[in-house]
Amino acid sequence: MDTIHLSIDGIDVEVKKGTTVLETANHLGIDIPTLCYAKGINHSSSCRVCLVEVGTRLIASCTLVAEDGMNIRTNTEKVRNARKTTVELLLSDHNQECPTCGRSGQCELQNISKRLNIREVRYTGEKSKTLVDFSSPAIVRDTSKCILCGRCAGVCDNVQTVHAIGFTGRGFNTTIAPAYGKPLAESLCINCGQCIMVCPVGALQERESIHEVWHAIADPNKFVVVQTAPAVRVALGEEFGLPMGTRVTGKMVAALRRMGFDKVFDTDFAADLTIMEEGTELLTRLNSGENLPLMTSCCPGWVKFVEHNFPDMLNLLSTCKSPHEMEGAMIKNYFAEKMGIDPSRIVVVSIMPCTAKKFEGQRDELSNHGLQDVDYVLTTRELAKMIKEAGIDFDRLQGETFDNPFGEGSGAGIIFGATGGVAEAALRTVFELVAGKELETIDYKAVRGMEGIKEAEIELPSGKLIRTAVVHGLGHARKLMQSIQSGAKSYDFIEVMACSGGCIMGGGQPFIDPQTQGEVNVKLERAKAIYAEDKALPIRKSHKNPDIIKIYEEYLEHPNSHKSHELLHTHYIRRKQF
Ligand code: SF4
Ligand code: SF4
Ligand code: SF4
């Protein structure tokens, strides 16, 4: 028999063998609180909040496998008191600075305290030592808020296979930290921010640049330009209560203008530029047979992962800068020249779904003539905070369009936001450039979807096959790299996104509360919105974007030209493997 019968709160239920009591209860609509459980990421039962009564015993339901004939109680006085005591004990070693915490209002500890009707913390005494780690340009770690749930280490180990952080110390001195208690900046961390997304409290947060950006906007000597990545427009609305998957491109542009930015540009434009440069690079490598497979380089989390873990394969990464860095370089050179603005007065702000882009923004390699291509990176969440701070009623905004010359992007640029998007965008262009004719169908469905590793063979008119792999989540990327190293697999073109699902699920995107996570397929809803935005655009191929054609005619000459290399390409460095 593959199923068993049990009773939860007097409700008889039949479930598959191996199902946990927590899953069974959820299936029945009984919401058992938990602060550490995260499906597929962390099953450690460390928080002890999900206690249920089995006979006279209290047991954590997240790791309790349902057995035939079990009689479970989830709402007895004993259970409620035990959960309350557990949460009070967690609060007793927590800094409780809720009003000034960046996570306030979206904190699972706050929500559970409220739900359990906790009105005081009866336990006082010594608190663990506080360490606030500001070493990383992307992520701040504050141990005084950490409840040692282990989710962050779970995602870093099990999903990303980066192993940057884990439990160290014993007993009261237990903490989550990089190996040997080193600062995050001196670890293998690739800044993906997936640990932030699973952290139930504010112990891990992005390093905010809100204050610096407001300051730049207020400075009359600065010309402040903002650009927004494709994945932001399909998630920002969630911060204002709009349904998952709502596209808010026009409202977002209007809000940015009201906030005081001098120009509002679209990173989608530079995504098209990336395709022109990277597509040409792919064709050159295919012709020469050298440095194959070409690996995409638009994800800075993935780039740092290669730098640490596969330094002998750095030559395979595309030399193209990521789209927002390309756009930054074009703003501080082409645009500055055209407008007669001293580039040192220009401040470029990128709104990204990503925390790794904060790290990328300050890389030495991503600068020209002593100026960083991008000055500040704000996450989608930071943008939402600024819109709220400015008192803008987002819902009532009328849609506006981006400014020119970097305001027009194609559908190909938009789909960069979802896994498979960069590969599809490149293939749309590479095929037509080689064939010299229009593609009949431009939706490469083989590279779409949420499978961890997708493979496709695209036949060029010459009969040559482009063997393509699309990967998201670094655990899958590691497997793929190892199969290439061992010779088990061979490809011509590989797209990798560090975050599972691609940038739509980046570490800077809006938090999703546990209930919504259980009810909605977030990845799918955001991906659907990305492809709908692509479909709605009149131009869906990068090489057909008239502004891209113009910029090559006026300034860059041709893809991979000397000028392009100077502004739009970069190099990578070998990093310590620790
Ligand atoms: S940012 Fe990513 S790599 Fe760094 S600790 Fe968090 S999950 Fe690990
Ligand atoms: S940092 Fe956050 S996710 Fe990590 S153990 Fe602490 S509370 Fe849990
Ligand atoms: S997949 Fe996107 S959001 Fe995630 S690290 Fe890479 S660029 Fe950033």
pLDDT in tens, 25-38: 999 999 999 999 99
Other C-beta atoms within 10 Å of 465: how many? 12
User: Does residue 382 register a pLDDT over 80?
Assistant: yes
pLDDT attached to residue 569: 98
List Cα–Cα distances, 370 to 274, 332, 562, 564, 572, in angstroms: 23, 11, 19, 18, 18
pLDDT band per the 50, 70, 90 thresholds, residue 438: confident
pLDDT attached to residue 443: 80
Q: What is the mean pLDDT of residues 187-198?
A: 98
Task: State yes or no: is 39 an active-site residue.
Answer: no
Q: Indicate the fold that domain 211-568 takes in CATH.
A: Rossmann fold (3.40.50)
pLDDT attached to residue 185: 96
Alpha carbon of 138 to ligand 2 centroid (Å): 17
In short, whether 154's Cβ falls inside 6 Å of ligand 2 is no
H runs (alpha helix) in 407-513: 411-414, 421-435, 474-485
d(CA 43, CA 450): 23
Q: What digits encode the pLDDT tens for the residues 98-137?
A: 999 999 999 999 999 999 999 998 998 888 888 999 999 9
Interhelix angle 474-485/300-309, nearest 10 degrees: 40
pLDDT attached to residue 1: 64
Q: Whose CA is nearest to atom 2 of ligand 1?
A: 192
Asked if the peptide bond before residue 293 counts as cis, ω within 30 degrees of 0, the response is yes
pLDDT attached to residue 437: 80
Task: State yes or no: is 360 an active-site residue.
Answer: yes
Domain range list for the chain: 3-90, 128-207, 211-568
Asked if the peptide bond before residue 538 counts as cis, ω within 30 degrees of 0, the response is no
Task: State yes or no: is 281 an active-site residue.
Answer: yes
User: Does residue 446 register a pLDDT over 90?
Assistant: no
Sign of CA dihedral 416, 421, 425, 426: positive
Q: Could you tell which of 41, 42, 139 is best to mutate to test the pocket of ligand 1, judged by most ligand atoms within 8 Å of the CB? A: 139
Q: Indicate the fold that domain 128-207 takes in CATH.
A: Alpha-Beta Plaits (3.30.70)
- How would DSSP label each residue in 374-391? -SEEEEHHHHHHHHHHTT
Give the DSSP H or E segment for 468.
strand 465-472
- Contacts by 104-112, CB closer than 8 A, 24 or more apart: 104/202, 106/511, 106/513, 107/200, 107/201, 107/202, 108/35, 108/200, 108/201, 108/513, 108/514, 109/35, 109/147, 109/200, 109/201, 111/513, 112/33, 112/35, 112/49, 112/87
Q: Could you tell which of 142, 146, 191, 308 is best to mutate to test the pocket of ligand 1, judged by most ligand atoms within 8 Å of the CB? A: 191
Burial class (CB in 10 A: 0-12, 13-18, 19+), 444: buried
pLDDT band per the 50, 70, 90 thresholds, residue 42: confident
Q: What is the mean pLDDT of residues 61-79?
A: 97
Q: Give me 558's structure tokens.
A: 């041709």
pLDDT band per the 50, 70, 90 thresholds, residue 173: confident
Alpha carbon of 200 to ligand 2 centroid (Å): 7
d(CA 453, CA 455): 7
pLDDT attached to residue 355: 98
d(CA 206, CA 405): 31
Catalytic entry in 298, 320, 354, 499 = 298
Q: What digits encode the pLDDT tens for the residues 320-344?
A: 999 999 999 999 999 999 999 999 9
What percent of the chain has a predicted confidence (pLDDT) above 70?
A: 100
- CATH value of 3-90 in 3.40.50.2300, 1.25.40.10, 3.40.50.2000, 3.10.20.740: 3.10.20.740
Say how far residue 318 (Cα) sits from the centre of its chain.
21
pLDDT attached to residue 44: 84
Q: What are the residues whose beta carbons fall under 8 Å from the beta carbon of 516, sequence distance 6 or more?
A: 244, 522
Q: What are the residues whose beta carbons fall under 8 Å from the beta carbon of 160, sequence distance 6 or more?
A: 190, 192, 194, 473, 474, 475, 498
Q: What is the mean pLDDT of residues 466-477?
A: 96
pTM: 0.96
User: Does residue 381 register a pLDDT over 80?
Assistant: yes
User: Does residue 245 register a pLDDT over 70?
Assistant: yes
Catalytic entry in 44, 318, 350, 410 = 318
d(CA 465, CA 102): 49
Q: Whose CA is nearest to atom 2 of ligand 3?
A: 503
User: Which ligand 1 atom sits closest to the C-alpha of 138?
Assistant: 1
Alpha carbon of 502 to ligand 3 centroid (Å): 6
Q: What is the mean pLDDT of residues 359-372?
A: 96
Task: State yes or no: is 503 an active-site residue.
Answer: yes
